[in-house]
Amino acid sequence: MWVSRRRPPSNEGGGVSVELAEMHDEALEGALRRATRYLDQLDPELPRRTRAELIARSILVVFDSYYTRSREIPSAYQRLFETRNWPETFKLSLERLTIYSRYLNAVIPLIHERWPRSIPDERGFWVEIEAAYLDYIHGRYEADLAFAFLRTTRRVVRQGEWAPVAYHAGRQADGPDFEHGNDVTSTFPASGAVSAGAMAHVLTLPGFNASFRDLHADAALLADRVNAELEQREAIVDSPCALEFIDAGFFRNRGAYLAGRIWYKRREGTGEHEEPRDQIGSHQREFLPVVIALLNDKNGIYPDALITQSDEIHRIFSSALANFHVTQYAYHQLARFLHELMPKRPLGMHYSTIGFNHVGKVAVMREMLGEHNRTQEPLDFAVGSRGTVAIGFSMPSSRYVLKVIRDTPAEGYKWDAFDGPEAVLQKYGLVHDMDRAGSMLDNVMYSNVRLERSWFAPELLQEFAQAAPGSVKILHRYVLFKHLIVQMKLVPLPVFLENADAEAGKRAIEELGICIQNNAAANIFNKDLDARNYGVSRIGKIYLFDYDAVEPLSGVKVRTNVGRFDGEEDIPDWFFETGTIFLSEEMLVGLRIDDPVLRRYFREANAELMSIDYWEGMQRAHSKGFVPKVRSYLPERSLSKQLARAKD
CA 553/CA 543 separation, integer angstroms:
17
Helices (H) and strands (E) in the chain, counts: 19, 24
Q: Which residue among 64, 247, 442, 548 is the active-site one?
A: 442
Q: Residue 253's pLDDT is what?
A: 81
CA 3 to chain centre: 23
- How many angstroms separate the CA atoms of 20 and 435, rounded? 21
Instruction: Tell me the per-residue pLDDT of 582-608, one tens digit each, with 9 for 90 and over.
Output: 888 888 888 888 899 999 999 999 999
pLDDT tens digit string along 522-537?
888 888 888 889 999 9
| pLDDT < 70 stretches in the chain | 1-24, 116-123, 159-181, 268-283, 320-321, 433-435, 563-571, 573-576, 626-631, 640-648
Beta strands in 110-184 (DSSP E): none
Q: What residues does 402 pair with on adjacent strands?
A: 393, 486
Neighbour tally for 25: CB within 10 Å: 12
Q: Does the reported pTM lie above 0.75? A: yes
Told to judge if 442 belongs to the known catalytic residues of this protein, a careful annotator would answer yes
Report the distance separating Cα 370 and Cα 348, nearest Å: 12
What per-residue confidence (pLDDT) applies to 381?
96
Rounded Cα distance, 250 and 338, in Å: 12
pLDDT on residue 19: 52
Would you state the pLDDT for residue 493? 94
C-alpha distances in Å from residue 69, one per residue of 102, 149, 333, 442: 12, 15, 21, 24
**Nearest alpha-carbon partner for 521 in 646, 597, 629:** 629
Measure the CA dihedral 502/503/507/510, to 10°.
60
**Nearest residue to 306 (alpha-carbon basis) of 647, 642, 638, 648:** 638
Q: Quickly list H helices, 355-417.
A: 357-375
pLDDT of residue 220: 94
> Cα 482 vs. chain centroid, distance in angstroms?
23
What confidence score (pLDDT) does residue 625 get?
75
- Hey, what long-range contacts does 378-382 have (CB within 8 A, 24 or more apart)? 378/455, 378/456, 378/457, 379/451, 379/455, 379/456, 379/457, 379/460, 380/456, 380/457, 380/459, 380/460, 381/457, 381/459, 381/460, 381/463, 382/489
Complete DSSP assignment for 403-466: EEE-SSPPTT--SS----HHHHHHHHHHHHTS--TTTB---EEEEEEEEEGGGB-HHHHHHHHH
pLDDT for 166: 41
Pairwise CA distance, residues 205 & 189, whole Å:
15
